A and B are shown apart, each in its own frame.
Chain A
Amino acid sequence: MATATLLLIRRTTLRPRVAPYSSTTLKSALDEIDRQNPQLNALASCMSSTVSDTLDNPSHGPLQGWPVIVKSNIAVGCNTATTCASQSLAKYRSPFAATAVEHLQQAGAVVVGTANMDEFGMGSKNQSGIYGPAYNPHQIDAIRHSPGGSSGGSAAAVASGMCRIALGSDTGGSVRLPAAWCGVVGFKPTYGRISRHGLVSYASSLDAVGILASTVHDAQIAYRTMAVPDSNDMTCISRSLRDRIDSLAKSRPWIKGESNNNGKERPLAGIRIGIPQEFWVKELSESTLNAWRRGAQQLAVAGCEIVKVTLPHIPSSLPAYYTLALAEASSNLARYDGVRFGTRFPARTQTAALANASLKYAATRSEGFGPEVQRRILLGTYVMSASAYQHYYLPSQRIRRLIQHEFNQIFALPNVLSNSEIAALSDQPRPDGVDAILFPTTNDTAPPQYTSGDEGSQVSSYVNDVMTVPVNLAGIPAVSVPVKHSHGHGMPIGLQLAAQYGDDNLLLWIASHLGLQSCD
């Protein structure tokens, strides 16, 4: 590694153009909401009135006084609508709050608003919901860019100082992609680390509650608050499995005293970082590729060993993801029939009203769901139909298992989920394995935000997901860290780190050493 390039790397902390993030207070957050939300349209609702009460009586805890914004598909309780940015739930108030939200509130955080998003989390640009498009706080030449999706409102809110952290949901990159495009940290924990109770399901086996924050440190604090077992969600990792993962993770010789290494010259000595070749796709922009290279160099300087790894089935992950996610979506969204809750649209014709049961719901489902959601439900219904099941659904499940297997092959830490009984005997970190992998979060920087009616960008927005969906298929944790910020030289760029199932703490620790790169 040439010394010349190393000299170019300057460790900087994230210094935003808008507000000093880590000092975001309730007061400053509410001010920024007033000042910036009219332009950014990041919020679905704001609770400034209820918040002012808590200003006087803050509850105590590690998140005391943290203003938090919650994505509109996570229930915050019966005072606020949980709309999923959909007409079908436009007035729906959940009688209960999500477990994740309750944990944040118990730790002293204050929910100041709910965030704009793509309808039911289906989209990568935050333009498909009932609230209209949200906009990226970063601008170049007065062109308004997309904040990314589907948690675009959450990312834009964090980037503009409207909150200290925001909750998002990540089914195929919905937290990491907007984080990268808005220049903030986006963390998708291991599947099951944070309870999904209260998160409106899109694709249950892929969904994760994620955190958007301006620093890895903030994400870490929020994560520790929410990553606890929950009996309301059977897929939330049990206490005993958490303990097993922890003892396994701590068995690595170099891990002792993670924090003791802080401040040392090579704090990450002993850690191996893999560079998966398959993410070097032709769509990758030059600036992103450069950022990737320099991110690797940064970690090398911090003491990591950088190695090439290969995940041959990554190219198949996108079709497999869209098959499985849409199949589950068609199932999870079947309940929006207007019978028990949500908006009900009357049948348009007498014949439809008198026809069989399914047609009675047709009006509600045709008018309650936007075009993207309808498209995905139809595709999902098709891939599960008797004639298509063998050709789409089953092969996609096989690909998913292959991808999980490939990740297990490259990581040093064994996956506690595979062969749990055998693993108990041979739980040994693999000496030639890597501890985390580093790759870009997106192919390119945020595109301009078009207003509705823009159909041409549909396929390109699916293509962007190729970087983010593999970790959802494998259920492993991943975090997107901003490495380039816009300073008139281009929009923000994020790099992604992913680690073995359950290895969230190590992942965040490594991520905290990825800093903002200097501008060329």
Chain B
Amino acid sequence: MHRIYSLRVFRTNVGHNGMLMPVLFANPGIRKDTLVQKRAAGSIAQEVKREAADDEFKATIGLELHAQLSASQKLFSAASARWDEPPNTNVYAIDAGLPGALPQLNPQCVELAARAILALDGHVQSRSFFDRKHYFYADQPLGYQITQQQYPIGRGGYVQLGPADGLDYTKRVHIHQLQLEQDTAKSIHGVYPGYVLVDLNRAGVALIEIVSEPDIETAIEASTYVRKMQTLLRHIGVSNCNMEEGSLRCDVNVSVYRKGGDRLSGARCELKNLNSLKTIRGAIGAEIARQAAIICKGGRVEQETRGYDARNDKTYPLRSKEAAPDYRYMSEPDVPEVHLAQDWIERVRSMLPEMPEVTLARVQSQYGLAQEDVETMLNEPGCLAFFEESVSGRDPKRVSSWITSEIFGQLSYRNQRLADSPLTVQQFTQILDSISNDLVTSAQAKQLLISFMDGEKRQVSEIIKAHGWEVIGDESQLRGIAKELIDNHPKEVAGYLKGQERRLNFFVGKLMQSTKGQAKPQEANRIICELLEAKRQ
């Protein structure tokens, strides 16, 4: 394949100084999913109440999840799948739909899709093929999307929801099919008045679409299902599933029926572009309410596609059934059928890691950790392995708390993934051991962590030496400094002796300050206390 140099340059990518300006996310957005999940716990309780109150109607819900595969190259070209680089730089001929260019299926994408359906306990189809789905849009370079309609790569499987996910019952959401397809280019509106800008970096990046059976009945189940799918796909290395970056997108089909009626009887409305767990819950709730209200009034729900206005908590029509495009599906003649041998499928299965639920239960019991902490680590790709490598011979609770508070804090501040951080398990364990061996204080340990995450290459011992950070273990030295402090602050000493206990903290603080944190706080406390008490006599 040929890299394209002769693509039309889109005007607004060029800034005033003529430099190429990245219009798109130059940096991946901050991952807030884990925060969202924590926050969700409270509001879920409220929403459960709201849903329970409305028990005359029930909903039938099916989800279509689009997850960007973490393959390094696109589905049908050797161009890099990094769509967050300067616009129109990762584009090969087929990605721009140049005449004479033909698609080349990337085997890595096929394997990742197979991995996903196997992890869901579904079946990889021994024979699958691609279809063209036609519609005109500026972000659709070929005039059609190459997708799988009739013979997808995966069918069957399920996601099990239960108490571990915050529900007080268990439920299986079955998978209808899992298909491979191309992502579109990115249209950018409003940057350059009167123009729509097109960035082809994303054009042709591989997606899997996971279509669920309409097994879901509530908004909570829907968001729980999505969260669980996120965890699973990340865990098996298939996708980052980051809703903020758009590497996981969700369309929802909702229909409502009167309790006791046929659960598939209602007209189905599709809710498009729901890009956070919160909007998924909100949109489904609002749509169920809207449809229920129509039925209550004796009206009929029309099949249509709708969007969600989060501010007013209402869904609004995007297009009616009549305006729905005729996609004119046609089997893709440029890509031969994909035949996968049983032994290939078994090899992919054998390479699957332990599934998250199993890991969760094992890690929780093996190390005696709180479920929440294990879940948090499970949600950061590669983190549990990092934990398990660093925990041996150390206190699991201490290790996990360092990871989830200190390391995650730094990652979030740096807008970085653990996998992208230069911090190694060896550096991390050196830090932990330096604290346990009283070589550094925890404040200094945090400094060490920061410098390692900045890319520091030296050993812990070298850094300690360079900073002159050895903990002052020599009591007489500390005592000397403390004595001096007490002599210099007679007013505070008098206060303490009158019963102002907080003066103690003043002196400890001063002592830590003058030793630049090299004293151990407990030591300092004990010495100051002794010296002050001695003044009473």
Please judge, given known A-B contacts A94-B100, A340-B97, whether A335 and B328 are in contact too, CB under 8 Å.
Answer: no
Nearest-neighbour CB distance to chain B for A512, whole angstroms, equals 32
Query: Is B17 an interface residue, CB under 8 A from the partner?
Result: no
Q: Which residues of A contact B4 (CB under 8 A)?
A: 95
Checking B93, B99, B101, B333 against A205 with a beta-carbon cut-off of 8 angstroms, the contacting residue is B333
Distance between Cα atoms of A234 and B132 in the complex (Å) = 16
Q: Which residues of B contact A360 (CB under 8 A)?
A: 138
Query: Is A199 an interface residue, CB under 8 A from the partner?
Result: yes
Query: Is B189 an interface residue, CB under 8 A from the partner?
Result: no
Q: Considering the complex, which residues of chain B in the window 91-115 have a beta carbon less than 8 Å from any beta carbon of chain A?
A: 93, 96-105
Q: Which residues of B contact A357 (CB under 8 A)?
A: 136-138
The 3 closest A-B pairs by CB, nearest first: A334-B143, A204-B333, A205-B333
Do residues A200 and B99 form an inter-chain contact, with CB atoms below 8 A?
A: yes
Query: Is A331 an interface residue, CB under 8 A from the partner?
Result: yes
Do residues B330 and A341 form an inter-chain contact, with CB atoms below 8 A?
A: no
0/1 interface trace, chain A 76-105, chain B, CB 8 Å (1 if under): 001000101000010011111010000000
Checking B7, B99, B143 against A84 with a beta-carbon cut-off of 8 angstroms, the contacting residue is B99
Do residues A384 and B328 form an inter-chain contact, with CB atoms below 8 A?
A: yes
Distance between Cα atoms of A193 and B300 in the complex (Å) = 58
Do residues B98 and A334 form an inter-chain contact, with CB atoms below 8 A?
A: no
Q: Which residues of B contact A197 (CB under 8 A)?
A: 100-102
Query: Is B134 an interface residue, CB under 8 A from the partner?
Result: yes
Distance between Cα atoms of A233 and B138 in the complex (Å) = 26
Q: Which residues of A contact B (CB under 8 A)?
A: 74-75, 78, 82, 84, 89, 92-96, 98, 196-201, 203-205, 231-235, 327-328, 330-331, 333-335, 337, 339-341, 357-358, 360-361, 381, 384-386, 389, 393
Closest residue to B1 on the A side, CB-wise? A232
Do residues A235 and B334 form an inter-chain contact, with CB atoms below 8 A?
A: yes
Distance between Cα atoms of A503 and B132 in the complex (Å) = 31
Checking B100, B132, B336 against A200 with a beta-carbon cut-off of 8 angstroms, the contacting residue is B100
Distance between Cα atoms of A84 and B335 in the complex (Å) = 23
Please judge, given known A-B contacts A235-B333, A384-B330, whether A78 and B97 are in contact too, CB under 8 Å.
Answer: no
Do residues A96 and B100 form an inter-chain contact, with CB atoms below 8 A?
A: yes
Distance between Cα atoms of A89 and B137 in the complex (Å) = 20
Do residues B102 and A331 form an inter-chain contact, with CB atoms below 8 A?
A: no
Distance between Cα atoms of A381 and B514 in the complex (Å) = 82
Distance between Cα atoms of A386 and B334 in the complex (Å) = 22
Query: Is B6 an interface residue, CB under 8 A from the partner?
Result: yes
Nearest-neighbour CB distance to chain B for A486, whole angstroms, equals 36
Checking B5, B136, B200 against A361 with a beta-carbon cut-off of 8 angstroms, the contacting residue is B136
Q: Which residues of B contact A75 (CB under 8 A)?
A: 99-100
B98, B141, B198: most-surrounded residue (chain A CB, <10 A): B98
B8, B99, B200, B335: most-surrounded residue (chain A CB, <10 A): B99
Closest residue to B88 on the A side, CB-wise? A340
Do residues B99 and A96 form an inter-chain contact, with CB atoms below 8 A?
A: no
Closest residue to B104 on the A side, CB-wise? A234
Closest residue to A88 on the B side, CB-wise? B99
Distance between Cα atoms of A386 and B324 in the complex (Å) = 12
Do residues B330 and A328 form an inter-chain contact, with CB atoms below 8 A?
A: yes
Closest residue to B96 on the A side, CB-wise? A340
The binding surface of chain A is classed by DSSP as loop
Q: Which residues of A contact B99 (CB under 8 A)?
A: 75, 82, 84, 89, 92, 94, 200-201, 335, 341
Distance between Cα atoms of A204 and B332 in the complex (Å) = 9
Nearest-neighbour CB distance to chain B for A131, whole angstroms, equals 18
Q: Which residues of B contact A328 (CB under 8 A)?
A: 330, 333
Do residues B334 and A96 form an inter-chain contact, with CB atoms below 8 A?
A: no
Do residues B333 and A78 form an inter-chain contact, with CB atoms below 8 A?
A: no
16 A-B pairs within 8 Å (CB atoms) are namely: A93-B6, A94-B99, A95-B98, A201-B99, A203-B333, A204-B333, A234-B102, A235-B336, A327-B330, A330-B328, A331-B144, A335-B97, A340-B8, A341-B96, A384-B328, A386-B328
Please judge, given known A-B contacts A197-B102, A234-B102, whether A341 and B8 are in contact too, CB under 8 Å.
Answer: yes
Distance between Cα atoms of A234 and B339 in the complex (Å) = 14
Q: Which residues of B contact A98 (CB under 8 A)?
A: 100
The binding surface of chain B is classed by DSSP as loop
Q: Considering the complex, which residues of chain B in the window 309-339 have a beta carbon less than 8 Å from any beta carbon of chain A?
A: 326, 328-330, 333-336
Do residues B98 and A94 form an inter-chain contact, with CB atoms below 8 A?
A: yes
Q: Which residues of A contact B328 (CB under 8 A)?
A: 330-331, 381, 384-386, 389
Do residues B144 and A196 form an inter-chain contact, with CB atoms below 8 A?
A: no
Do residues A234 and B143 form an inter-chain contact, with CB atoms below 8 A?
A: no
- 16 A-B pairs besides A234-B104, A340-B96 with CB distance below 8 A are A74-B100, A84-B99, A93-B6, A95-B4, A204-B333, A234-B105, A234-B334, A235-B334, A331-B328, A334-B144, A340-B7, A360-B138, A381-B328, A384-B328, A384-B330, A393-B330
Q: Which residues of B contact A384 (CB under 8 A)?
A: 134, 328-330
Interface size (B, Cβ < 8 Å)? 37
Closest residue to A387 on the B side, CB-wise? B326
Nearest-neighbour CB distance to chain A for B143, whole angstroms, equals 2
Query: Is B2 an interface residue, CB under 8 A from the partner?
Result: yes
Closest residue to A120 on the B side, CB-wise? B99
Q: Which residues of A contact B104 (CB under 8 A)?
A: 231-232, 234
Nearest-neighbour CB distance to chain A for B354, whole angstroms, equals 36
Do residues A331 and B143 form an inter-chain contact, with CB atoms below 8 A?
A: yes
Q: Which residues of A contact B330 (CB under 8 A)?
A: 327-328, 331, 384, 393
Do residues A95 and B2 form an inter-chain contact, with CB atoms below 8 A?
A: yes
Distance between Cα atoms of A78 and B98 in the complex (Å) = 13
Q: Which residues of B contact A335 (CB under 8 A)?
A: 97, 99, 141-143
Nearest-neighbour CB distance to chain A for B151, whole angstroms, equals 15
Please judge, given known A-B contacts A328-B333, A335-B141, A357-B138, whether A78 and B6 are in contact too, CB under 8 Å.
Answer: yes
Nearest-neighbour CB distance to chain A for B409, whole angstroms, equals 44
Closest residue to B194 on the A side, CB-wise? A353
Please judge, given known A-B contacts A78-B6, A94-B99, whether A334 and B134 are in contact too, CB under 8 Å.
Answer: yes
Nearest-neighbour CB distance to chain B for A335, whole angstroms, equals 4
Q: Which residues of B contact A340 (CB under 8 A)?
A: 7-8, 96-98, 141, 198, 200
Q: Which residues of B contact A198 (CB under 8 A)?
A: 100
Distance between Cα atoms of A94 and B7 in the complex (Å) = 10
Q: Which residues of A contact B336 (CB under 8 A)?
A: 234-235
Distance between Cα atoms of A198 and B93 in the complex (Å) = 10
Distance between Cα atoms of A205 and B331 in the complex (Å) = 10
Do residues A82 and B7 form an inter-chain contact, with CB atoms below 8 A?
A: no
Closest residue to B143 on the A side, CB-wise? A334
Checking B6, B198, B326 against A95 with a beta-carbon cut-off of 8 angstroms, the contacting residue is B6
Q: Which residues of B contact A393 (CB under 8 A)?
A: 330
Distance between Cα atoms of A95 and B7 in the complex (Å) = 9
Do residues B102 and A337 form an inter-chain contact, with CB atoms below 8 A?
A: no
Q: Which residues of B contact A330 (CB under 8 A)?
A: 328
Checking A204, A231, A358 against B334 with a beta-carbon cut-off of 8 angstroms, the contacting residue is A204
Distance between Cα atoms of A82 and B101 in the complex (Å) = 13
Nearest-neighbour CB distance to chain B for A338, whole angstroms, equals 10
Q: Which residues of A contact B102 (CB under 8 A)?
A: 196-197, 201, 232-235
Do residues B326 and A341 form an inter-chain contact, with CB atoms below 8 A?
A: no
A201, A203, A381: most-surrounded residue (chain B CB, <10 A): A201
Nearest-neighbour CB distance to chain B for A424, whole angstroms, equals 15
Q: Which residues of B contact A331 (CB under 8 A)?
A: 132, 134, 143-144, 328, 330
Checking B132, B143, B326 against A337 with a beta-carbon cut-off of 8 angstroms, the contacting residue is B143
0/1 interface trace, chain B 1-30, chain A, CB 8 Å (1 if under): 110111110000000000000000000000
Distance between Cα atoms of A330 and B135 in the complex (Å) = 12
Closest residue to B324 on the A side, CB-wise? A386
Distance between Cα atoms of A98 and B93 in the complex (Å) = 12
Q: Which residues of A contact B96 (CB under 8 A)?
A: 340-341
Nearest-neighbour CB distance to chain B for A356, whole angstroms, equals 9
Q: Which residues of B contact A205 (CB under 8 A)?
A: 333
Q: Which residues of B contact A389 (CB under 8 A)?
A: 328
Q: Considering the complex, which residues of chain B in the window 76-100 have a beta carbon less than 8 Å from any beta carbon of chain A?
A: 93, 96-100
Checking B8, B93, B100 against A82 with a beta-carbon cut-off of 8 angstroms, the contacting residue is B100
Q: Which residues of A contact B8 (CB under 8 A)?
A: 340-341
Distance between Cα atoms of A437 and B39 in the complex (Å) = 75
Nearest-neighbour CB distance to chain A for B61, whole angstroms, equals 26
Distance between Cα atoms of A389 and B141 in the complex (Å) = 24
